[in-house]
Structure 1
Amino acid sequence: MSEAIGDYGMIGDLRTAALVSATGRLAWLCWPDFDSQACFASLLGDEANGSWLLAPKSFNCSVRRYLPGTLVLETTFIEATGARVAVTDFMPLGKRQSSVVRIVRGVAGRSRMRTCFAPRFDYGNAQPRLEQLEDCTWSAVTGPHRITLRTNVQLRCEKGDIESEWLVHEGETSFFALQHSNSYLEPIPSAINAEHAERETIAHWSEWTSRSTYQGQYRDAVERSMLTLKGLTSAESGGFIAAPTTSLPEKVGGRRNWDYRFCWLRDTTFSILGLMHCGYRTEAKAWLEWLSRSVQGNPKTLKTLYGLTGKREHSEWEAKWLPGYRGSKPVQIGNKASDQLQLDTFGEVMDALYRARRMGLYPLEDRSGRALELPLLEHLEKIWTEPDCGLWEFRLGPQQFTQSKVMAWVAFDRGIRMVEKYGIKGPVDRWRKIRSKIHKQVCDRGFHRGMNSFTQAYGSKHVDASLLLLPLVGFLPPSDPRICGTVKAIEKNLLRKGLLLRYDTKRVTDGLPAGEGAFLACNFWLVDVYVVQGRMAEARAHFERLLKFRNDLGLLSEEYDAKQGLVGNFPQAFSHVALINSALAFELGTSARLLDLDSTQSR
Structure 2
Amino acid sequence: MARIEDYALLGDLQTAALVSTGGSIDWLCLPRFDSPACFAALLDTPDAGHWSLAPAAGGTCTRRRYVDDTVVLETEWVTHDGTVRVIDFMPPRGHAPDVVRIVEGVHGAVAMHSDLKLRFEYGRVVPWVRHHGDRIEALAGPNRVRLRTPVPTKGHEMSTVSDFTVRPGDRVPFVLTWSASHLPSPKTVDAEHALRDTLTFWTDWSKQGNPVRGPYRDAIKRSLITLKALTYEPTGGIVAAATTSLPEQIGGGRNWDYRYCWLRDSTYTLQALISAGYLAEAKAWREWLLRAVAGEPDDLKIMYALDGTRYIPEAELPWLAGYDNSQPVRTGNAASDQLQLDVWGETLDGLALARNAGIARRDDAWDLQVALMNHLEGAWDQPDNGLWEMRGARRHFTHSKVMAWTGANRMASAVRAHPELYGPADRWEALAGTIHADVLAHGYDADRNTFTQSYDAPGLDAALLMIPRVGFLDPKDPRVLGTITAIQNELTEGGLVKRYNTSESDDGLSGGEGLFLACSFWLVDALNLAGQKTEATKLFERLLTLRNDVGLLSEEWDPDTGRQLGNMPQAFSHFPLVTSALQLHAGRGHHSSHPITAPGDPAA
Normalised TM-score (structure 2): 0.96
Matches within 5 A, 1:381-420: 381-420=377-416
Following TM superposition, by how much is the alpha carbon of 1:289 offset from its aligned partner in structure 2, in angstroms?
A: 0.9
Q: What secondary structure does 1:76 align onto?
A: strand
Matches within 5 A, 1:494-505: 494-505=491-502
Following TM superposition, by how much is the alpha carbon of 1:123 offset from its aligned partner in structure 2, in angstroms?
A: 0.8
CA distance, structure 2, for counterparts of residue 481 and residue 392 of structure 1: 26
- Note the aligned Cα RMSD (angstroms): 1.5
CA distance, structure 2, for counterparts of residue 105 and residue 268 of structure 1: 38
- Is the 1:141–1:183 Cα contact (8 Å) retained in structure 2? yes
1:127 partner amino acid? V
1:34-64 CA deviation, whole Å, 9 max, x = no partner? 1111111000001111001110111554111
Following TM superposition, by how much is the alpha carbon of 1:82 offset from its aligned partner in structure 2, in angstroms?
A: 5.1
1:441 matched to 2:423? The reply is no
- Is the 1:103–1:194 Cα contact (8 Å) retained in structure 2? yes
CA distance, structure 1, for counterparts of residue 380 and residue 253 of structure 2: 31
- The equivalent of 2:332 in structure 1 is 334
- The equivalent of 2:524 in structure 1 is 527
1:439-464 CA deviation, whole Å, 9 max, x = no partner? 11110111112211100001211111
User: Which of 145, 148, 156 is the matching residue for 1:147?
Assistant: 145
- The equivalent of 2:86 in structure 1 is 87
1:210 matched to 2:207? The reply is yes
Following TM superposition, by how much is the alpha carbon of 1:598 offset from its aligned partner in structure 2, in angstroms?
A: 5.2
Q: What secondary structure does 1:444 align onto?
A: helix
- The equivalent of 1:225 in structure 2 is 223
1:201 partner amino acid? T
- Is the 2:245–2:328 Cα contact (8 Å) retained in structure 1? yes
CA distance, structure 2, for counterparts of residue 580 and residue 241 of structure 1: 17
CA distance, structure 2, for counterparts of residue 564 and residue 219 of structure 1: 25
CA distance, structure 2, for counterparts of residue 252 and residue 564 of structure 1: 13
Matches within 5 A, 1:324-473: 324-362=322-360, 364-366=362-364, 369-370=366-367, 372-423=368-419, 424-473=421-470
- Runs (4+) of structure 1 exceeding 4 A deviation are 598-603
Following TM superposition, by how much is the alpha carbon of 1:539 offset from its aligned partner in structure 2, in angstroms?
A: 0.7
1:594 partner amino acid? S
1:251 partner amino acid? Q
1:73 partner amino acid? L
Following TM superposition, by how much is the alpha carbon of 1:432 offset from its aligned partner in structure 2, in angstroms?
A: 2.2
1:299 matched to 2:332? The reply is no
- The equivalent of 1:77 in structure 2 is 77
1:90 partner amino acid? F
2:26 partner amino acid? A
Matches within 5 A, 1:10-89: 10-59=9-58, 61-62=60-61, 63-79=63-79, 81=80, 83-89=82-88
Following TM superposition, by how much is the alpha carbon of 1:594 offset from its aligned partner in structure 2, in angstroms?
A: 2.4
- Is the 1:288–1:363 Cα contact (8 Å) retained in structure 2? no
1:31 partner amino acid? L
2:193 partner amino acid? H
- The equivalent of 2:168 in structure 1 is 170
Q: What secondary structure does 1:126 align onto?
A: coil
Following TM superposition, by how much is the alpha carbon of 1:299 offset from its aligned partner in structure 2, in angstroms?
A: 0.8
Q: What secondary structure does 2:148 align onto?
A: strand
Following TM superposition, by how much is the alpha carbon of 1:420 offset from its aligned partner in structure 2, in angstroms?
A: 0.8
- The equivalent of 2:576 in structure 1 is 578
**CA gap 1:243/1:473 in 2 versus in 1, 3 angstroms:** same
User: Which of 558, 563, 566 is the matching residue for 2:564?
Assistant: 566
- The equivalent of 1:116 in structure 2 is 115
Q: What secondary structure does 1:217 align onto?
A: coil
Following TM superposition, by how much is the alpha carbon of 1:366 offset from its aligned partner in structure 2, in angstroms?
A: 4.2
1:320 partner amino acid? P
CA distance, structure 2, for counterparts of residue 39 and residue 408 of structure 1: 42
1:229 partner amino acid? L
CA distance, structure 1, for counterparts of residue 397 and residue 200 of structure 2: 48
Normalised TM-score (structure 1): 0.96
1:245 partner amino acid? T
**CA gap 1:564/1:322 in 2 versus in 1, 3 angstroms:** farther
**CA gap 1:136/1:601 in 2 versus in 1, 3 angstroms:** farther
CA distance, structure 1, for counterparts of residue 578 and residue 588 of structure 2: 13
1:510 matched to 2:507? The reply is yes
Q: What secondary structure does 2:106 align onto?
A: strand
Q: What secondary structure does 2:547 align onto?
A: coil
CA distance, structure 1, for counterparts of residue 359 and residue 587 of structure 2: 24
- Is the 1:268–1:348 Cα contact (8 Å) retained in structure 2? no
Following TM superposition, by how much is the alpha carbon of 1:210 offset from its aligned partner in structure 2, in angstroms?
A: 1.3
- The equivalent of 2:310 in structure 1 is 312
Following TM superposition, by how much is the alpha carbon of 1:355 offset from its aligned partner in structure 2, in angstroms?
A: 1.5
Q: What secondary structure does 2:173 align onto?
A: strand
Q: What secondary structure does 1:405 align onto?
A: helix
1:141 partner amino acid? L
CA distance, structure 1, for counterparts of residue 59 and residue 331 of structure 2: 37
1:158 partner amino acid? H
- Is the 1:270–1:581 Cα contact (8 Å) retained in structure 2? no
CA distance, structure 1, for counterparts of residue 257 and residue 282 of structure 2: 24
1:499-540 CA deviation, whole Å, 9 max, x = no partner? 111111122232122421110011101111111111010011
What residue ranges of structure 1 are gaps of 5+ in the alignment? none
**CA gap 1:601/1:107 in 2 versus in 1, 3 angstroms:** farther
CA distance, structure 1, for counterparts of residue 409 and residue 300 of structure 2: 20
1:13 partner amino acid? D
- Is the 1:273–1:593 Cα contact (8 Å) retained in structure 2? no
- Is the 1:270–1:593 Cα contact (8 Å) retained in structure 2? no
Q: What secondary structure does 2:467 align onto?
A: helix
Following TM superposition, by how much is the alpha carbon of 1:427 offset from its aligned partner in structure 2, in angstroms?
A: 2.4
What residue ranges of structure 2 are gaps of 5+ in the alignment? none
Q: What secondary structure does 2:581 align onto?
A: helix
Following TM superposition, by how much is the alpha carbon of 1:279 offset from its aligned partner in structure 2, in angstroms?
A: 2.1
2:432 partner amino acid? R
Q: What secondary structure does 2:591 align onto?
A: helix
CA distance, structure 2, for counterparts of residue 47 and residue 61 of structure 1: 16
CA distance, structure 1, for counterparts of residue 150 and residue 102 of structure 2: 10
- Is the 2:579–2:588 Cα contact (8 Å) retained in structure 1? no
Instruction: Give the length in aligned residue pairs.
Output: 596
1:328-357 CA deviation, whole Å, 9 max, x = no partner? 111110011111000000000111121122
1:30 partner amino acid? C
CA distance, structure 2, for counterparts of residue 120 and residue 135 of structure 1: 22
Q: What secondary structure does 2:456 align onto?
A: coil
